[in-house]
Structure 1
Amino acid sequence: MVKLISLLLLFLTPLLTRAAANKKSPNVIVILTDDQGWGDLSINGNKNLQTPNIDLLAKRGARFNSFYVSPVCSPTRAELLTGRYHPRAGVYSTSEGGERMNLGEVTIAEVFKKAGYATAAFGKWHNGMQYPYHPNARGFEEFYGFCSGHWGDYFSPMLEHNGKIVQGKGFIIDDLTDKALAFIQTNQAKPFFLYVPYNTPHSPMQVPTKWWEKFKNKELTMRADKRAGEEDDNFTRAALALCENIDLNVGRIQDKLQKLNLDKETIVVYLHDNGPNSFRWNGGMKGRKGSTDEGGIKSPLLIQWSGKIAPGSQINQIAGAIDLLPTLADLAELKYQLPKPIDGRSLKPLLLKPSQAWPDRLLFAHWAGRVSVRNQRFRLDHEGKLFDINNDPQQLSDVSAQEPEITHRLIKAVEDWKSEVLKGIAADNRPFPVGHANFLYTQLPARDGEPHGAIVRSSIHPNSSFFTGWKSPNDSITWNVDVLTTGNYQVEVYYTCPVKDVGATLRLSLGSNQLKFKINQAHDPPLKGREYDRVERTESYEKDFKPLKAGIIHLEKGLGKLSLRALHIPGSQAIDFRLLMLTKVN
């Protein structure tokens, strides 16, 4: 008998070893939406719309009932990517360089890439544009989308693919999903980490006609809380239409996984980046985007892993975006080390063994100097008022007088957190890097430039803006740069210019190196975007800017001020300027 067992073990051991070696680590898909409120899902009780595919993630997996993100876009992205509070990562703004994660940070994509995963991101990055802040330098082997904070055109817009300017195809969310599906198809035989940061329902509220027709006359049965502010019905309708479009595309991803028999091998995560971008129904919670109150930072978190996470699980313990890196790495059983301590904790025990004990914790929310803190029961707001969220989710009754000990403890925790985490925030002297040795392209958009003289932005919002009003040789645009590689660079200027103003001579210079070129060709397209806007926008309208190959400039390694100036303006203005693209050449 012993001999028989020994023979069986001798036969089975190689098979078991081979099976263990061939065991595929789970794929991970993280879907993040932009400016979608907690209340913008039918599973959370909103009867103004239907989101069956997103709701299905919760029914097939786990749903966190007290999950928190940051009040605005780039901070949440930084926390999701690093597991650390956003000020630690150097993120203090949403534009002009303040959205960049410090280069010492390690991202979730780098963790998965090091473990042998294929990695990609399709959508809105918003954590740095110039390499090595670019997503291709932060662990993502493939990137398609845009690196800015918002985009002004959702219909076949100018986008980028791994740093190269390309033309999008169709409505942007459908296009991003097409790229995600192609990535899944290509990488189905090996583990992959896929990040899909959609850029809607962020404004401008451009909605495809198919979706707008459904909502433009829709009666809104659920409204914004009366104490919040005035609701713009058309804005709400546009936002809801965009949310239903997102839902359709989440369904397309789910269908692809099932078609390829990957649904049991794939962890799917769904969340929002902040509260709603307008006053609309949000469960009666106080605050919206930009607020550190519940309504500004509460997000759904849905995690599906068929066969591993019990369907319909509801998790009441508080959690945050900082928890996603440790949680997903833990679920995938990755061994990793990070150079800096993280603020998040793995939620794997709650997902796989929800009945076990879970210690209380504090979650902090920060924006524009305001800080609030949440434990399992209470929230201390940025004014020092205390609310029993379990019994008062609308933050109607300040209970600080009834709970002085807890109030004092949380006030002290906020003071300590500010002292540690906010030290030196916004003291930013980081230049924009140019010409990294590992990357061909450097984009220097109007967003990151500084106008001088009469030149003005096309909007008060720098993201996706352009410069106009360039009427004098005394006017210029500058960028504080750090040239990382000495060499020659092909210069492309994205511009518009009417026929009557053709002929301006421009000079691009850095130190003693310069390039002079002339605008010899008119290009005067109309402003666009209004035809699909369902609400008047505050952001800039767009144009189809023309790339002009201006020539080659030699740049020396080091810090300096890159300047674009018009030496001669024969007409009423030089050009409208959108983007400077520098490409390394031999």
Structure 2
Amino acid sequence: MRKVLLLFLLVPLLASNQKRLSDEKPRAEARPNIVILLSDDQGWGDLSVSGNTNLHTPNIDKIAKNGALFDRFYVQPVCSPTRAELLTGRYHPRMGVRSTSEGGERFNLDETTLADAFKKAGYATAAFGKWHSGMQYPYHPNGRGFEEYYGFCSGHWGDYFSPMLEHNGAITQGNGFLADDLTERAMAFMQEHKDQPFLVYVPYNTPHSPMQVPDRWWNEFKDKPLKMTAAQGIEEDLNFTRAALAMCENIDWNVGRIMEKLKALNLEDNTIVLYFSDNGPNAFRWNGGMKGKKGSTDEGGARSPLLMQYPKVIRPGTKVNEIAGVIDLLPTLVDLTGIAFQPPKPLDGVSLKPLLTGKGTFDKNRLLYSYWNGQTSVRSQQYRLDSKGKLYDMVADPGQTTDISAKKAEEVARLKTAVNQWNAEVLPGIAGEDQRTFPVGDREFKYTQMPARDARPEGGIRRSNKYPNCTFMTNWTRPDDAIVWDVEVLADGDFDAVIYYTCAPENVGSTFELTMGRNQITAKITEAHDPPLRGMEHDRVERMESYVKDFKPMNIGTIHLEKGRGRLTLKALDIVGAQVMDFRLLMLERVK
């Protein structure tokens, strides 16, 4: 009787345990999650793991401690080329990336992205931060495989404290310091999708200028002596450096929050975490004695930290000495996760899995190319041939101080031939003028933003700053002045048009029209809105980019747009005061 009773009691318990194990089995076999953390303008030397004693980045350093540190990892010299290569595994000139603003930052629409591949494989995909690969759909992140997007699509932003941002195309307001806000959004997405594999891309906006950082981090650095500085003979703005390092420590704090979130969700062991930067440092500061900074194809402009953690596969403390590049990340993540992916175009990158696991073969004789602004350099495992044809032994002379081309004529000839072949194959992708227009009105996406950044000022209108990415149009004083976008309307439709403007009281009353082809709407400014320039109140050092304003939205009516190419134009009909307005953005929302 006692045995029967005991068995009676055990059966529900065994059934419960069996159900629990069956519930856990899918999670145990689930594909690994991916978290990609990308900083903006952070140099290789801006981490304590690189040996910089001016700052402490324990959370980022710990990724290397728990996983792998790539000793020689290369990105491109500026932002948008690196981002395009991360997303596609292909060199950026192939894909039409020719500048960092006004449409030249976009990679072509026939490319397949990392997010496309993982979305197709069943991953939840999201990006939070600086996109810098196109604003109008389908260049928009929601059109390139990311189901969720929050941040800004421009190349830099003028305000890091509760700024105007966008969420899946709609304008919204940020919440607090931008890097902190992006982290909160990323953690919320991981929480929401903890029971399915996810790809979360967090391209932070810092330490790119303007140099804004909360007091908590600035107070640590504002009067701090810096023991490690730029190489002798190079002028360094120490306050700029202090601000950059403070911003890097803030990033580290946010990286720590993301790592703790993965732990709290019991996802750390099954998540691949990557951390790197998009180019060299945005000013001369300590960078391991390397030559060059952001914008340079020398070592200091193209070398980035890369730290990667995946406890199931990567042994803690792994150090990779072979050269690797941002073009390798897409094929590496595909290989590590085992998703089915057949790239429709040949990849330039290769999988780094053999270097991470010690299994398989890897070509140690490969070459990596750095290109920007007409300059190409090439890196082998031992040498760099710079854009002027000088050869450096990067093992014996990492600072590129001694040209050894006269002693290594055969190596110079080999690398010059490689550069010529690469240029001939890749650079035709950016030959001639950029003929791509800005797309408007894709039926699959409700919103089209047309910022001042992408417009062409005509007449006396001018930008608020020579760096276009976060500018507005001003000096709109004459009837023949115009703000013009070269666009292609992708499908006929009716669109509500909203402008973001400022206007002094004495200038209220001007009328203007928005036209394209035979269609137009007319509007009148009836309400003054004249906030001051701002941004300087948060800047730790004087900025070189435009200051910002709090622009006011004004609905100017509904315009019908017909499919096809043309000029979308804002032009004044009657000017009452000194100027029509300062203009920041035209938002078109499809209503039919």
Range class of TM-score, shorter chain: over 0.9
State how 1:472-483 maps to structure 2 within 5 Å: 472-483=478-489
How much does 1:307 deviate? 3.2
Is the CA contact 2:94–2:429 (under 8 Å) kept in the aligned structure 1? no
CA distance in 2, matches of 1:90, 1:160: 25
Gap change, CA 1:451 and 1:214, over 3 Å in 2: same
Q: Secondary structure at the match of 2:439?
A: strand
Tell me the TM-score normalized by structure 1: 0.96
How much does 1:89 deviate? 1.3
What residue number does 2:258 align with? 253
The one-character-per-residue Cα deviations of 1:317-340 (angstroms, maximum 9, x if unpaired) are 000000000000110011111111
Q: Does 1:380 align with 2:354?
A: no
What residue number does 2:13 align with? none
State how 1:426-465 maps to structure 2 within 5 Å: 427-465=433-471
Of 303, 307, 312, the residue aligned with 2:308 is 303
Is the CA contact 2:150–2:167 (under 8 Å) kept in the aligned structure 1? yes
The one-letter amino acid of 2:387's match is H
Is the CA contact 1:315–1:354 (under 8 Å) kept in the aligned structure 2? no
Of 494, 507, 510, the residue aligned with 2:500 is 494
What residue number does 2:324 align with? 319
Q: Does 1:91 align with 2:97?
A: yes
What residue number does 1:338 align with? 343
What residue number does 2:172 align with? 166
Q: Secondary structure at the match of 2:218?
A: helix
Q: Secondary structure at the match of 1:422?
A: helix
The one-letter amino acid of 1:87's match is P
Q: Secondary structure at the match of 2:555?
A: strand
Moved more, 355-364 or 345-354: 355-364
Is the CA contact 2:94–2:428 (under 8 Å) kept in the aligned structure 1? no
Q: Does 1:407 align with 2:407?
A: no
State how 1:102-113 maps to structure 2 within 5 Å: 102-113=108-119
CA distance in 2, matches of 1:527, 1:18: 56
The one-letter amino acid of 2:113's match is T
Gap change, CA 1:356 and 1:194, over 3 Å in 2: same
What residue number does 1:207 align with? 213
How much does 1:226 deviate? 2.1
CA distance in 2, matches of 1:212, 1:186: 33
Q: Secondary structure at the match of 1:463?
A: helix
Gap change, CA 1:273 and 1:517, over 3 Å in 2: same
CA distance in 1, matches of 2:424, 2:365: 22
Is the CA contact 2:384–2:391 (under 8 Å) kept in the aligned structure 1? yes
The one-letter amino acid of 1:543's match is K
State how 1:529-544 maps to structure 2 within 5 Å: 529-544=535-550
CA distance in 1, matches of 2:54, 2:27: 49
What is the aligned-residue identity percentage?
62
Identify unmatched segments of 5+ residues in structure 2: 1-17
Is the CA contact 2:276–2:304 (under 8 Å) kept in the aligned structure 1? yes
Q: Does 1:290 align with 2:309?
A: no
Gap change, CA 1:477 and 1:313, over 3 Å in 2: same
Of 356, 365, 369, the residue aligned with 1:360 is 365
Q: Cα RMSD (Å) of the superposition?
A: 1.5
Q: Does 1:225 align with 2:231?
A: yes
Q: Does 1:136 align with 2:142?
A: yes
CA distance in 1, matches of 2:401, 2:275: 29
CA distance in 2, matches of 1:112, 1:297: 27
How much does 1:359 deviate? 3.2
What residue number does 2:72 align with? 66
Q: Does 1:33 align with 2:45?
A: no
How much does 1:356 deviate? 5.6
The one-letter amino acid of 1:584's match is R
Q: Does 1:390 align with 2:401?
A: no
The one-character-per-residue Cα deviations of 1:433-463 (angstroms, maximum 9, x if unpaired) are 0000100000000000000111110000000
Is the CA contact 1:363–1:375 (under 8 Å) kept in the aligned structure 2? yes
The one-character-per-residue Cα deviations of 1:127-171 (angstroms, maximum 9, x if unpaired) are 010000000010000000000000000000000000000000000
CA distance in 2, matches of 1:357, 1:78: 24
Q: Secondary structure at the match of 1:345?
A: coil
Runs of 4+ with deviation above 2 angstroms: 15-22, 354-359
How much does 1:94 deviate? 0.1
The one-letter amino acid of 1:159's match is L
The one-character-per-residue Cα deviations of 1:84-142 (angstroms, maximum 9, x if unpaired) are 00001111100000000100000001110000000000000000100000000100000
- Give the length in aligned residue pairs: 572
The one-character-per-residue Cα deviations of 1:458-503 (angstroms, maximum 9, x if unpaired) are 0000001000011111111000000011111000000000111101
Is the CA contact 2:75–2:303 (under 8 Å) kept in the aligned structure 1? yes
CA distance in 2, matches of 1:209, 1:543: 22
Of 277, 282, 285, the residue aligned with 1:277 is 282
What residue number does 2:551 align with? 545
Q: Secondary structure at the match of 1:302?
A: strand
CA distance in 1, matches of 2:24, 2:299: 50
What residue number does 2:8 align with? none
CA distance in 2, matches of 1:207, 1:511: 46
Q: Secondary structure at the match of 1:371?
A: strand
Of 173, 183, 186, the residue aligned with 1:180 is 186
CA distance in 2, matches of 1:226, 1:470: 47
What residue number does 1:46 align with? 52
Of 323, 329, 338, the residue aligned with 2:334 is 329
What residue number does 2:30 align with? 24
CA distance in 2, matches of 1:359, 1:126: 32
Of 244, 258, 263, the residue aligned with 1:239 is 244
Tell me the TM-score normalized by structure 2: 0.95
Is the CA contact 2:496–2:588 (under 8 Å) kept in the aligned structure 1? yes
Gap change, CA 1:48 and 1:567, over 3 Å in 2: same
